[in-house]
Structure 1
Amino acid sequence: MPYPKGHKIKVRGKIVESAARAFRTNGIQEVSVPFIMKGAGLTHGGFYSHFDNKEQLVAEACEYAISDTIALLQNVADQEEQNPKINKVIDYYLSPYHRDQTEMSCIFPALSSEISRSSEEVRQVFTHELERMINFISNLAEIDMSSGRALFSTMVGSLVLARSVSDPELSDSFLSAGRQQAKEMVKRKDM
């Protein structure tokens, strides 16, 4: 009996979503194709009917994860009635909740160091998605792209350091300092 129309696209989407979750939590190198397929509720034998290789999946998972993160952050911003709405996004991004929910959080803090050793295809997709995220942040903060790069770098760096240390108080202090500095960067544009 043939599968219903759209079945292959739906299955591919489940694989990409599973990969994005796994990569966010464990990185690229630590995640196997069988692990990803199991996370999608599938056997690993069907992987190659959807993807040429793991690199292709990494690229698609990056695109998916950034779209997911931008949608989430837009939703956070839409809940803020005061301007600048970016402050609500900064508070969320640099919160203990976002720090601790790695499987659903932003992919940039999780994968940036690994991407530098990935294929050119993956690096191009990652670069494009990074520029898309910076554009989103810049527009929300109403700042130029250069300032947006600095702002997002501060946010990502603060989150990376907060996740890296074993001392909970130190971790929280990185989040707090990052929030303060990020908001100061936004405030300076009005001066």
Structure 2
Amino acid sequence: MNLNHIPHVRRSSVFAAAALALGLLGQVPAAGAASVTVNFTGTVSSASGDFTAVTGNVTGTFTYDSVPGTDLSANPSIGLYSFSGAPYGFSVLIDGFGTLDGTSLLTQTGDNGAVLPGFDTFQLAGTDGDYESRIDWSGSTASFSGEGIPDVSVLQTMNPLFVIRNAASGQNELLANLDTLAFSPVPLPPAVWLLATGCVLLTGIGRRRTRGN
């Protein structure tokens, strides 16, 4: 396209649209780099130890970063990541027990059965010092790729389990089947932002052509 044939005012409009689109694109974080909050509710299926009297529901949130940074595990099939400070952390309300809160969140993914033999696993886990609360996802050894954090779209197709483990004894003391599970916000892939950029540019060029005719 030869922009020399476009009148100065119209040409400026096209360039302005392009600059706006590129400016918006420049403000978008790297692919998927955003905090993700998992909101869930569940029904207790098994309780023991300190949670023996619990028979009700659990409600909670976990917040992690979809692009975690440094892997704390030397195992090439296990990713271990630590997030601390706002907005990362977790809070879980357990009917008949109370609330567990933690400011440190660990996100772990195991590939090719490195954590659970015969399965790939992914965990969101946090601890308040006395108890570890976590959501466990598991699937076949083709479920997750490598040691990176899985895409939200993959996790949404699975049925995770909520677990509370006693930090002192190492025993699982509460299991809950999750009834609802929602992720927010869901990071948009780069292709969506590129499409939006193209639409803005095409809008400016389309108007120029219409007026030119």
Q: TM-score range by the shorter chain?
A: under 0.3
Q: TM-score with structure 2 length normalisation?
A: 0.21
- Which protein has the bigger helix share? 1
Comparing both structures, which one devotes a greater share of its residues to strand? 2
TM-score (norm 1): 0.22
Query: Which structure has the larger Rg over C-alpha atoms?
Result: 2
